[in-house]
Every structure is written in structure tokens, then in C-alpha cells.
Structure 1
């Protein structure tokens, strides 16, 4: 069976302090794309309108980390981002990559999930050839069925406007996202793992306390709340189930660690790299490795 989901599209860190988040990730040695305001559609077929959010992105040529900020509390909020932030800020969004949003929507509904249908997204971006409009299509899963976070799929229509070569080189040597780690409440663990196995069309494999779903270009890792301390010792738990951490691939662990520690941020050694606490990364734990 051909997979509709091809890997990670982007992960979103949400804040009402976009200036602070931008500064922190710049200090960590990430190159950021320029800030861009969102135009969002409220329902399938509706024209996008200026929303309350803006973003900057850590781009890797395929997937990216979205630094998402609420920048105008009085502006329309068709994607309900303010309600998301009211619950808690941090690593809140996981979007999987597809080249066919309609087929992806059918895959999600076939897995028993309620969706938004296919929505349009636009934002103006600066390119070396002048201003251009980035366009994408997204499908949001009803958040009541994904207690771990706001999950969806996205399809680039203008990928080259987003992943511009001038933003892909990072002083810390980052070159991609290898994994996303979800902490799942013990009672809901089996349902969450089974849901992702169906959506990703992947067989769950065990790796210590982690249940791993391989997408080829990255992997989704799920750990029970009762085992989270083994993987994330001392880390805060913002919810019973939550998006906990990302694994960033780097060229050289020592270079990346030195870059981040120069910002005054503490790091913790891991078996194949190091870890930055979610307390220091605006609610997203960050593993760094060369694997």
C-alpha cells in the first residue's frame, strides 16, 4: 500500500511572546526565516483572511519547526489558536506531510477521526525574486480526539517559497528532524498508538520504553506517562498526554552543544547527543544527535 503520509511537514511551538521565542532559537544557533503574517480560511472553499498569528520557521529543506505567535489579539482567529494558547503554550502542533490533501483527509476520516476538511492557508514571504505568496492546504483533526496535541496534515503548493536555500544553513549544524516524542496517558496509550499506526500505515516497534512508528523519513515515538521519567527525567508535564520533544539531527554534537551553551542554556548529555529542557525552549524538549 502506498503511504499518503510521507513524514513530518512541520512541528509548531506556540507562544504569545514571539519576540522571546525568536531570540531564544536564534541564540540556539538556528537560522530563522523572516516573520510572516498568516492568511487563513475558516472553512473549505472560503477565502483566506488576515488572522491573529504570525510565524518564523526553522527550515531544513523538507520539514520545519514553526515558531508560531499570537501577534494581534483583536484579529480574527479562524483556526482557534488563541483557545489553544489559553490551554497552555509550548509544543502544541504536529502536522504530517502529504502531496494529496484530499486523500489525506479520507485517510484520517477512515481512521475514525473528525476533520476540518481541506482548508487553505496563505502568507506573504520574501524571496530573492521579490515578494511571493506561499500557499498550502491543510486538514485539521478535531482536537477532542487527539488529547496529545493539535494534529493534522499539510500539503505544500509552493514548497520552494518556504524552503529557500538561504535559510537552510544553521550555525549549530542542524539539518533535519529525526523524531517527535509523544507522552501518552497510560489509560489512553493503546488508543493513541493504534491511531497513529493506522494513519501512518506503520507497524509499531518497541525501543525500550518507547513505541516507535517509522515513516521512512522520520519516526514518531510514543511513551507512557508512567515511563516518561525514564526518557525525560525532571521534565514538566503540561497535560496528561502531550507533544513532548523533537529530535534534531546535527552535523556535529559538540559544535551544536557548544553553540547552545554559549547562550547560557544548560544541556544534559544523552547516549548519542544531548538534550535541552522544554523549560528553556518555550515548551518543547529538544534532543540533538547525529544519528
Structure 2
């Protein structure tokens, strides 16, 4: 055990280290790929989950990535993707946090009275030009009460060099990392304690109708339908209140002016704050409100 510091005991070990990736589900995977290419992303070659009827395109960043996920064979196991698309439609569906040791993460969660199972192994193929690649992962699924409002799991990459390849990371729009995720919930204040149990109380800020969680550099923001418009002005395009769950993300880019030029070249409609983000409406990003910051 580490000795206590002069200012108190050492910080408690946490089961996650940050955000690994976000899942964006779509009815038509190839159409989604083209949409995100218009947004200035260069997808990695298509991946296929072994033994499942789902496939993906990953938009790799210097830190983390975005996963476009769709159904390619509905006769096989779909891991609930068909139900998600039927009830919520296209858009953000879940977050994958990162963990260095998922067995250790599971023990830490159980010590906090979070009921989790054992880590599961997963493989998928990548249809690379030089031949098929076989990246491997471990996943630890989190119960809904542990991450209210946000379906989530913890991911450990066992073969990171296969997926973070330089030619896949260099994005034409200058995207570097996921900077934020916005989640709509009925009662923002109610999510503060569960997320503090995972990320630490010092990582959580609770003000009015907004709870903000520092997730290792990426900020998770939980708000209600009224607070959503203050964070994302493109939300005014909704004709009815958005369904609870993840609805918007912020992606950090190297140069917003250069990103704006890429969006214009792709014919993407967006709003530009003088000194703030570039706001892309959900209609231009498969149901995702996207801010480039």
C-alpha cells in the first residue's frame, strides 16, 4: 500500500482511465461511411465481427476513435443492434471506456457494489489492402445503473498496433481526439454520484441542470432537453424533444478554419461561431449533432 501523503491518503484507484471510443449506429453502413467522408474523415478499412452479423468502419484519431456500426447479415447474432436501431434510430448509442487491466477493473467495480461479470474476448477482421488483419480486444460490460443515461463498457486493446496505423490516423479534417460527449437525461443531478464512483468526486461538477464529468481529457456532459440547446444550438432543428441518451459529440481538430474548408468542399451545412465550435446538425451526420472544436 502506498504511504499516505502529507495532505491525506493516496487517490483511490479507478476502474477506467478515460474514453476509448464512441459507437454510432446506422441503418446503412456504406451510406454512413460516405457521410463521414463528406465530413472530412478517412475511415479505416471495413471490419467484421467474427461470428456476428455486424460490421464497422472505424475513424481512427490520435486519441480514441469513432466506430460506425451497422448490420450486414441479420440472420446472425446482432448483439442488440437491431433493437437499438428500431427504438432510437441512427446516432450515438454507447461509449467505450479504456482500461489497462479488465480483471482489475472488474474487482474495483465489485468493491464499489457494481455488479459486473467477467471480461470477454472479442475478435474482428479488418479488410486491409495488404491482407486481412485480426485485431483482438477484451470487453467488460457495465450495468445501466453504473453509467445512467449512457450504455457503456470498458475496452482493452490487445493488438493496438493493428488499428492505430499512421495512414488511418491522419484525418483530412484535422480531427485529433474526442473532446466531449453530451447525454440527455431526465434528471441530470441524479447521475452525479454514480459517475463519481467510477471517475472520482473531483472529476464531477454539478451545476443547475448540467453535470460534467472529466473522463481523462474528454468531458461527459449530462443535461436535460432544455439545457441541450444552450450547449448545441443546432438542437433547435428538432421538432420534438430528443430521446434520452447520447446525442452530441465534440471532436477536437488542429485548425478550425481548415476544417471549415473541408466541410464546405463536402457540401456540409454547418454553423460557425466567431470564436466557438463549428456546429454540424444531426441531419448531416447520421443522427449525431457534431461540434468541431
Q: Which residue of 1 aligns with 2:17?
A: 6
Segments of structure 1 that go 5 or more residues without pairing to the other structure are 40-49
Q: TM-score w.r.t. structure 2 length?
A: 0.85
Q: Which residue of 2 aligns with 1:225?
A: 225
Residue 202 of structure 1 contacts residue 213 of structure 1 at CA under 8 Å; is this kept in 2?
no
Q: Which residue of 1 aligns with 2:285?
A: 281
Superposed, 1:149-188 pairs within 5 Å as 149-186=150-187
Residue 181 of structure 1 contacts residue 223 of structure 1 at CA under 8 Å; is this kept in 2?
yes
Larger Rg: 2
* CA RMSD, 1 decimal: 2.3
- The residue matched to 1:259 in structure 2 has which SS? helix
Deviation at 1:128, TM superposition (A): 7.8
Deviation at 1:184, TM superposition (A): 1.5
C-alpha distance in structure 2 between counterparts of 1:14 and 1:51, whole Å: 15
C-alpha distance in structure 2 between counterparts of 1:202 and 1:161, whole Å: 35
Determine if the alignment matches structure 1 residue 246 to structure 2 residue 249: yes
Residue 269 of structure 1 contacts residue 275 of structure 1 at CA under 8 Å; is this kept in 2?
yes
> Match for 2:44 among 10, 33, 38?
33
Q: Which residue of 2 aligns with 1:42?
A: none
Q: For the structure 1 residues 142 and 214, does the alpha-carbon distance in structure 2 shift closer, same or farther, using more than 3 Å as the test?
A: closer
Q: Which residue of 2 aligns with 1:18?
A: 29
Q: For the structure 1 residues 283 and 114, does the alpha-carbon distance in structure 2 shift closer, same or farther, using more than 3 Å as the test?
A: farther
Deviation at 1:170, TM superposition (A): 0.9
Q: For the structure 1 residues 170 and 148, does the alpha-carbon distance in structure 2 shift closer, same or farther, using more than 3 Å as the test?
A: same
Q: Which residue of 2 aligns with 1:46?
A: none
Q: Which residue of 2 aligns with 1:134?
A: 135
1:182-235 Cα deviation digits (max 9, x unpaired): 12212xx22322211211124222578643222333222222333222223315
Q: Which residue of 2 aligns with 1:63?
A: 64
Higher strand proportion? 1
C-alpha distance in structure 2 between counterparts of 1:7 and 1:144, whole Å: 19
